[in-house]
Structure 1
Amino acid sequence: MFRDRQEAGRKLAEELVKLKLADPLVLALPRGGVPVAAEIADALKAPLDLVIVRKVGAPGNSELAVAAIVDGNPPDIVLNREIVEAYDLDDAQLRFLVSRERPELERRRIAFLGDRHPLSTAGKTVILVDDGAATGTTMKVAVRAIQRRSPREVIVALPVAPFDILTELAEEADRIICLNKPIRFVALSYHYHDFPQLSDEEVVSLFKHRAPDKTTSIGKRKGRHALP
């Protein structure tokens, strides 16, 4: 059990430092991943940035994701093809569903990053960090999006996640670093003594002193899904 997210980040950092990674870039999934990632970025003396993911719900069932939008320049659209086919959605319907979620993605980007542009992942060893993974869905989407952006490699770093979820993530990422891999997973909060909900303001406070240069941006890449 971890005392808090900061301790989890320091313990993850100990493992990552041993790898002597080339040109690391730490990307946190807000909100809970930010205090974990901040400790890793400090230990590696690496830049810290955020990767913001917004689920796109199915028609009439907002909890079932047909796709996800991952913030970037431009944003990536990652489809859940099985659900798309199950609902028999065409491109026009997908564009409509995606367009409904873009304002919230933009709100979160502005809330967390202001007018800063995301850092380029091209040629970097990208370390994707969260405070744990119960289902792994958001992390899986983030990995798929980052893999499209020409990284050197993508490493998923988690304090805790169920063994079966790590097996799934290993099919997406180049490497997985996870400290606790329970076969029977109860809840993420069970693995922390102190596990408060974080506000937008707390995320901004953690991030602002390690923020990327706002003039740096992710270059556009060919081959992304054509949805707007």
Structure 2
Amino acid sequence: MMQKYKHMLQDREDAAKKLIDIMPMQKFKEEEWHIVAVSKGGLELGRHLKQKLKNPLEILFLEAIMAPHNNECEVARVSETEEIVLNESLINAFEIQYDYIYGEAHRKHEEDILSSIYQYRKGRPFPSMQNRVILLVDEGSETGTKFMTALKTVLNQKPKAVYIAVPVLPRDVLEVLETFVDDIFFLYDIDDYVETDLYYKNLEKIDDEAIENILEENR
């Protein structure tokens, strides 16, 4: 089963082209959907999705909060507007105190997110999405927490509509996300999802300069 999906996408550009085929691009253009990437890879994908169109492209900075004694295990995530999404079942299973989560969320916001905002956006805050049509994008989704944290952030700002575009994601994550958005554009929903880079032949790490350039182009 795993072999079936291995390297089925060349790279982010290939994934974007295939998403464009299934997206309502006329609506995307006319309603001037705001593309909001939920990761650095998502920003690169968003750049290919937008092509030469005038749609605004932005990144929402998020940081994972790990379990106290296991830095591989994500138990929550915080956004740059300090929205937090918790993985209740893991928090309960590990008997993690909520004080720890909120303390870590504050620390990650102060240390990591604020420095990203200054580095990549020259200190500009995330723009208001009130009454806008939003397209959240990422190159893949393993647990759905990036999208859930981004959704919590943008829904608080009272947008007109929210869509998601993601080339690959687990089937159970798709089912959860579908209940929160107007529509999801995806290429593959996979039962036994492993990790996103398995599904791409080439998923290059995106360097700081590339991120700064993409955001600069879109200002």
Question: Which of the pair is proportionally richer in helix?
Answer: 2
Name the CA distance, whole Å, in 2 between partners of 1:107 and 1:96: 18
Residue 139 of structure 1 and its aligned partner are, at CA, apart by 1.8
| CA deviation string 1:189-221 (max 9, x = no partner) | 23322211222222222332013xxxxxxxxxx
- The CA deviation at 1:94 is 4.4
Aligned residues: 208
Structure 1: runs of 5 or more not aligned: 212-228
Aligned to 1:76: 83
Matching of residues 37-116 of structure 1 within 5 Å: 37-42=46-51, 44-72=53-81, 75-83=82-90, 87=95, 89-90=97-98, 92-102=99-109, 103-116=111-124
SS of aligned partner of 1:68 = strand
Equivalent residues of 2:171, 2:191 under 8 A apart: yes
The amino acid across from 2:13 in the alignment is Q
1:133–1:162 Cα contact (<8 Å) kept: yes
Q: Residue in 2 aligned with 1:216?
A: none
* Residue 144, structure 1, aligned to residue 175, structure 2: no
DSSP-derived class of the 2:180 partner = coil
Q: Which residue is 1:32 aligned to?
A: 41
Structure 2 partner of 1:199: 207
- Please tell me the root mean square deviation across aligned C-alpha atoms, in Å: 2.4
Gaps in structure 2 of 5+ consecutive residues: 1-7
Q: In structure 1, what is the Cα distance between the partners aligned to 2:155 and 2:115?
A: 25
Superposition TM-score, scaled by structure 2 size: 0.82
Partners of 1:132 and 1:191 in 2: CA distance: 9
> Structure 1's 6 and 97: CA in aligned 2 closer, same or farther, altered over 3 A?
same
Which amino acid in the other structure matches residue 197 of structure 1? K
Q: How does 1:183-222 map to 2 (within 5 A)?
A: 183-211=191-219
Residues 87-142 of structure 1: CA deviation (Å, up to 9, x unaligned): 3635x544422222121111222222122232221111110001111222222221
Identity across the alignment (%): 25
CA shift in 2, pair 1:100/1:159, >3 Å:
same
